[in-house]
Amino acid sequence: MTKWRNIWPFLGAAVLYTAGNPDYVIIPFVLEPLGLSFWTMFWVVAFIANLEIIGGYFFWRWFVWTWLPKTKPIKETIKMTKSIIDLLIEYGLLGTIEYKIRETFEWATNPNRNFVQFIKRWGHVGMFCLGAESFVSGGRSIGTIACASTKWPRGLYALIIGNFIHIATTIWTWKLFFYLWDKYKLPVIVVGVVFAILIGMNFIRKKLNPPT
């Protein structure tokens, strides 16, 4: 029973941040094909994205203050040198999920990173900016981790308010993308195929003629 109590939060977090991701899964692959209006999509995504923030907060709080103190540090030999495939082969699905989550936590809480210093300096304003940003993937998650790791649930208020701006920008961006895709599909495909062929030829050439 204790083992499952430690496993299900990781599996839930994996689903939350992959299949349940509003920006890269829910909007383009679920809601956009339904042909919903902007505002209908906005309120649906707002509910899902803010649910992600709240659910993520409880997960990261458990991870930081309950699970992490009871586990051994990641071996130095693992670090960031292994690919997902290597991790799956060596540690299995659950081990890989645990590793990637710990890696995400260490990345988001590294005191040397600019956004970590920004949050400490600007507080609620920093959280609002992380929620609103639409250029760096993961701002919402960084803010959630910061609130959970510092036991600062009130920071979620500013994060959620800023997230409404992020949602509107993301929906507009996807609608623009699908509009351009419908209008210029053939030229985009041709350019993509040519680009892929050029990259493939360059890769093969390097393999056949390695530098001496």
**Cα 92 to Cα 90: distance, rounded to the nearest angstrom:** 6
Asked if residues 162 and 129 have their Cβ atoms less than 8 Å apart, the reply is: yes
43 and 31 Cβ atoms separated by less than 8 Å:
no
Domain count, the chain: 1
| CA 93 – CA 68 distance, rounded (Å) | 19
Cβ-contact 146, 121 below 8 angstroms:
no
Cα gap 69→76, rounded to integer Å = 18
- Please list the ranges in the chain whose pLDDT falls under 50: 1, 75-81
Task: Give the pLDDT score at 211.
Answer: 63
Q: What is the pLDDT of residue 136?
A: 59
- The reported pLDDT for the residue numbered 10 is 86
Please report the pLDDT score of residue 47 as a whole number: 96
Cα 173 from chain centroid?
17
What the block records as the tokens of 47 is: 């509910």
Q: Which domain holds residue 58?
A: 2-208
CA pair distance 7, 24, nearest whole angstrom: 25
Rg of the Cα atoms in the chain: 20
The pTM of the full predicted model, rounded to 2 decimals, is 0.80
Alpha carbon distance 103, 63 (integer Å): 12
Q: What is the pLDDT of residue 93?
A: 73
Contacts by 63-69, CB closer than 8 A, 24 or more apart? 63/9, 63/13, 63/101, 63/105, 63/148, 64/105, 64/148, 64/149, 65/151, 67/6, 67/9, 68/102, 68/105
Q: What CA–CA distance (Å, rounded) separates 147 from 126?
A: 12
Instruction: Check residue 72 and give its pLDDT.
Output: 60
Question: Residue 83's pLDDT is what?
Answer: 63
